[in-house]
Structure 1
Amino acid sequence: MAKVKNPWETLFEHEGQQDPNWHVREHFVLDCDAAVVQSFNAELPEASSARVEIGLPPEPFIGNINAASVILLASHPMIGGNEALDNEVWRKAYRKNLRSGGNKGGFYYAKDLSTMELPGAQGLFGVRRIEAEDSPTGEVQQAQAGVLTPLLNDLSEKLGGEGFNHADDDLRAEVARKLYKNLMVINLFPYAVDYSRDVFAQQEGNWLPSQRYQRALVKKALKRAKEEKYPPLVIVSRRQQEWYSAVPKLQHKFGKRPKSLALMQNPGMVVTQNALDSVHGRGAYKQVLKRLRA
């Protein structure tokens, strides 16, 4: 890790000085990535789903690489609203996590219950059903599943309640605390896009300068998995072949220990018991829940 400098701390600077108003900018792109991203977007039509959305804060990683007991390797942040920038709790947690290079703070979308309801969290946690009388629009808001919705519900039940969406605020807050401490997501592509197949086809293995740091984080996770008595579970969830290309040790490790609980593949978009147990054997999913509860 010492050999790869964290580029993301510069996101909060302007002309070499800390910028207290970083969150009111129109664009959020690192200087080291700017030319590549600009060239990348210039080659695509306006309507292309592969265009990089630089008006949203990038999310190269979410969580603490030293403390997380479950590390999910994902594809990219989804395009949504920028309401998170108006949430002071989220802004402080986001800034702390990125400035430290993932060495401080935690899973900032689970900093408290307000951050779990942000649009940027919906792809992870899903959307709760809201009845018409409680909805600001006066219409029923249908529930939608996110990548972590099954884990969220099962963790809530393990902690003594109902599914997360039906739990009281005290239990929901306890689930949030567990996720903040124990969960990390590392995105292979740090900027928001609509459709990853297009963006990775366009990228063709030409990595952004900043992506070296995400690769370094994964290597640190693998080192932890090798050295610690209770290692983190590293789950390759999306863009598996691209992750193997970026960090060859991932694929080599699978080749040697395909059933290892220190490193898992998730064959679906959503992390479920069926998905993990079908690849790694019965009990794999329970190991994930056990680490998240710690």
Structure 2
Amino acid sequence: MAKVRNPWSDLFQLDGSKDADWHKREAFYSQSDAEALDAFHADLPEGSTARADLSVPPEPFAGNIYSATVIMLASHPTVLANGEALANETWQKAYRKNLNSGGLKGGFYYAKSLDTLELPGAQPLLGVRRVEEEESESGKTQRAQGGMLSPLLNDLAQRMGEEGFNHASDQVREEIAAKLYKNFMLINLFPYAVDYSREAFAHQDGQWLPSQRYQQALVKLGLKRAKQEKHPPLVIVSRRQQEWYEMVPKLQHKFGKKPKSLTLMQHPGLVLSQSALDSVNGRGAYKQVLKRLRA
């Protein structure tokens, strides 16, 4: 890691100085990617779903590589309204700390507090977005039903005496959020939000953004921990599996009989469930993930 510069710290600088108003910008990107992004967009047809939405803060990673017990390797952030996150001071500070440190400090910033759990950017993973009565067309409080981590969140809540995460008390939800903040890390192969990743990756030839070297270095550090620690973190390759294996070939290697990473079964409505993990990695894989998140 020492040899790989964190390209994301320049998001919070202006002319070489700290920028207190970084969250008010019209475009968010690493300066190291500027030339590659310009060339990429110039080659795209009008209306292409592969275009990166630079009005949304990038999410190359969310979490602390040193404390995370579950590290999930995914594809890309989803295009969502960013106004609520950028106006949320708790999220701003957590996001800035995490990216500015290169994922070496801070944690999974969408779980920093109960209000950050409800932000739109958390929905694809956590599925816990609540719509209050006055905002709902039906006049009833509504909650999102699903996210990639929903089965894990529900199991965590049930082990704490609740029916499920969405129906849990604020105290239990807060305890689970604290575990996520410390123990969970997400690393995206492509750091900028896109509507449709298949087209975006079709225009890539392997690793083409300079900033991607940093995500690569984070994964290698996670694998180093997996080799050295008594209770190593679990690395789950959830999306763009072939691209991840090409970028970090050691993800497919093994330490004796133990794999360095788990693979998530690919299917529509992808979720991190017991069947999706155990069917590919063997019985007990899901329970190992749940055990580490509960730590």
Query: One fold, TM greater than 0.5?
Result: yes
1:105-144 to structure 2, matched below 5 A, reads 105-128=106-129, 134-139=133-138, 141=142, 143-144=144-145
Q: Which residue of 1 aligns with 2:153?
A: 152
Q: Which residue of 1 aligns with 2:63?
A: 63
SS in 1 for 2:292: helix
1:181-260 to structure 2, matched below 5 A, reads 181-253=182-254, 257=257, 260=259
Q: Which residue of 2 aligns with 1:266?
A: 264
TM-score, length-scaled by structure 1: 0.94
SS in 1 for 2:230: coil
Q: CA deviation at 1:154?
A: 0.9
Q: Which residue of 2 aligns with 1:6?
A: 6
Q: Identify if the C-alpha distance between structure 1 residues 219 and 206 changes in structure 2 by more than 3 Å, giving closer, same or farther.
A: closer
SS in 2 for 1:242: helix
1:29-108 to structure 2, matched below 5 A, reads 29-82=29-82, 83-108=84-109
SS in 2 for 1:186: strand
Check conservation: 2:113, 2:177, Cα contact below 8 A. yes
Per mean C-alpha deviation after superposition, the further-off stretch among 58-67 and 277-286 is 277-286
Q: Which amino acid aligns with 1:198?
A: E
Mapped to 1, the partners of 2:15 and 2:80 lie a distance apart of 29
Check conservation: 1:65, 1:184, Cα contact below 8 A. yes
Q: Which amino acid aligns with 2:133?
A: D
TM-score, length-scaled by structure 2: 0.94
Mapped to 2, the partners of 1:222 and 1:5 lie a distance apart of 19
1:265-284 to structure 2, matched below 5 A, reads 265-268=263-266, 269-284=270-285
Q: Which residue of 2 aligns with 1:285?
A: 286
Q: CA deviation at 1:56?
A: 0.6
Q: CA deviation at 1:280?
A: 1.7
Check conservation: 1:128, 1:165, Cα contact below 8 A. no
Query: Where in structure 1 do 4 or more consecutive aligned residues deviate above 2 Å?
Result: 127-130, 137-144, 251-254
Check conservation: 2:52, 2:194, Cα contact below 8 A. yes
Q: CA deviation at 1:31?
A: 1.0
SS in 2 for 1:224: helix
Q: CA deviation at 1:204?
A: 2.0
Q: CA deviation at 1:252?
A: 3.1
Q: Which amino acid aligns with 2:32?
A: C
Per-residue CA distance 1:6-63 (angstroms, 9 max, x = gap): 1111110011111000000000011110111111112112321110001110000000
SS in 1 for 2:54: coil
Q: Identify if the C-alpha distance between structure 1 residues 32 and 121 changes in structure 2 by more than 3 Å, giving closer, same or farther.
A: same
How many residues matched? 289
Q: CA RMSD in A?
A: 1.6
SS in 2 for 1:160: coil
Per-residue CA distance 1:230-288 (angstroms, 9 max, x = gap): 0000000000000011111112349x75x63x520001321100011111222110111
Q: CA deviation at 1:159?
A: 2.3
Mapped to 2, the partners of 1:142 and 1:291 lie a distance apart of 27
Same amino acid, percent of matched pairs: 65
Q: CA deviation at 1:143?
A: 3.2
Q: CA deviation at 1:127?
A: 4.2
